[in-house]
A and B are shown apart, each in its own frame.
Chain A
Amino acid sequence: MMEVKEGMIKATDAFERLVHWTLAISCIILFITGLGMMFHSLNFIGDFMGGLKSLKYVHNIMGLIFGFSMIFTISMWWKEAGVFDLPADWQWIKVAGGYLWHVDKVPEIGKYNPGQKMFFLAVAGCGILMLATGLLMMFQPEFLPMWILRWMYPLHALGFFTLFAFFFVHIYLGTIGNPGSFQAMVHGWVSPGWAKKQHPKWLKEMEEHGTLKIYGGEKKKDTPSH
């Protein structure tokens, strides 16, 4: 399942995967340490880190790493996943990509489907929100009126509400919900069948532009000049 076979198609490069996992791991550590501070019943999470004070430091430092990888996440995926391709994406949204009820023919979609785009935008938006509110909560600058500072806390909680829910959606859809997807974030190669089913337009575009990379084969021979 996880091995790279001949004929597989390159979906992500090493840099994308590095950024993804830096963001993902820092995000998970932020979830865990954050939960340790959200409920007294979860204070024991601090015991694994040498107390709640260390847990706070882990949370704050991870926040900076998360924020830093967020810069790369947004800049490298914005063009592909940040902008909707209308009206094609709208057709896909109308049938929910065939995820929720039976759809005979799901509209063909490019590298990222509108669901993935919404996820990306939610993570990017909430990520920036978490970083901004978190920094203000941490430093509590004097110039900030108290009533504004107070609202940083529920906003931080709202960001968590969204990210935590999306996190589980992402795990499900990235693994057992769409078999063959997870490896795109491990070794970066997907099967042709997967690409054909999930992102047929992307496959066609790569074929047209000659940017298709196939494992075990050379690049497409008749590569157009651009």
Chain B
Amino acid sequence: MAEMIKLYDDAKCTACRGCQLACKQWNEKKAKQTTNYGSYQNPPTLQSNTYMIIHFQDVKDTKGNVKWIFRKESCMHCADAACVTACPTGALYHTEFGTVGLNPDRCIGCKNCVAACPFEVPKYEQETDRVYKCDMCESRLRNNLTPACVKACPTGALKWGEKDAMIKVAADRVKELGGDANTYGDQYVSGTHFMYVLQEKQPVYAALAQNPKVPLAVVAWKNLLNPLSLLAAGGIVVGSFLHYLIHGPKLPDETGETTKKAEGGE
């Protein structure tokens, strides 16, 4: 199976939230009670039982006109995924589709991925002591179906297709839209398998990670210090052995009878 990409085109999105519902339905995740805080964006952030949300945002342009812009937030399915690097058990893994899968049965709820993800996507659930995130409907992909959110989208704002084709579709859309339109995702973390065509500049979007990278802390921890610690310990063991052979142990001074005499003991 070829590498795939899910493309979101915010200019075509009406924020009907059909995708958000389809996601809940396919993954059988009940909604939790939320409180009205004056926005249709509900719940306000991703949750352990909400793998995707639509962001609602009012933006003022230079002429003072107010625009309503939307963004679908979910796992970006990075090619160089910090969560997969950080996961100690292999519960998070790359698939042949290029997506990042999650096997909850292997998840131990250590929350390493929660801290590692540059997009802050994985969410921890106390009740099950596990982490959850979008797996791009791997169960559907394995049966030649598109992800549930793509299936539900009525406007064509969400598309699913082979990587090269989708990158071309995105580039064409950017040209068509003109102005500040740009793509988001293909240029970060070795390419994401969920990418955007945005009509506004990237910093305009609330809570959108700017210039996301695999965090340096994750590289220092997983790629540097972990292997180095074994190397150092190995060096110490070999060094100790050589020390014993070459320098020899520090033997007790067994002529130390004077101590006993001075003591006047036995």
A interface with B by C-beta (< 8 Å): 6-7, 9, 36-40, 43, 46, 52-53, 55-56, 98-101, 137-138, 140, 146-147, 149-154, 156-158, 160-161, 164-165, 167-169, 172, 176-180, 191-198, 203, 207, 212, 214, 216-218, 220-221
Contact = CB atoms under 8 A, between A and B. Distances in A.
B259 interface: yes
A177 B249 contact: yes
Of the candidates B109, B116, B247, the one having the most CB atoms from chain A within 10 angstroms of its own CB is B247
B266 interface: yes
A164 B229 contact: yes
B221 A153 contact: yes
A145 B143 CA distance: 41
Interface in B241-266: 243-244, 247, 249-257, 259-260, 262-266
A150 B129 CA distance: 20
By size class, the interface of chain B is: 35 or more
Contact of A198 (B106, B116, B250): B250
B230 to A, nearest CB: 8
B14 interface: no
Contact of B120 (A52, A138, A146, A154): A146
Interface string B210-235: 00000101101100111011001101
Contacts of A192: 256-257, 259-260
B21 interface: no
Contact of A164 (B233, B251, B252): B233
Chain B contact residues, majority secondary structure: helix
A140 B225 CA distance: 21
A53 B129 contact: yes
30 contacts: A9-B259, A37-B110, A39-B226, A40-B88, A40-B89, A43-B90, A52-B108, A53-B129, A56-B109, A98-B250, A100-B247, A137-B110, A140-B114, A146-B115, A149-B115, A150-B116, A153-B112, A153-B217, A153-B221, A154-B225, A157-B225, A165-B229, A165-B235, A168-B233, A177-B249, A179-B251, A179-B252, A180-B252, A194-B252, A217-B265
Nearest to B107: A53
Interface of B: 86, 88-90, 106, 108-112, 114-116, 120, 124, 129, 215, 217-218, 220-221, 224-226, 228-229, 232-233, 235-237, 240, 243-244, 247, 249-257, 259-260, 262-266
B266 A7 contact: yes
Contact of A140 (B115, B251, B265): B115
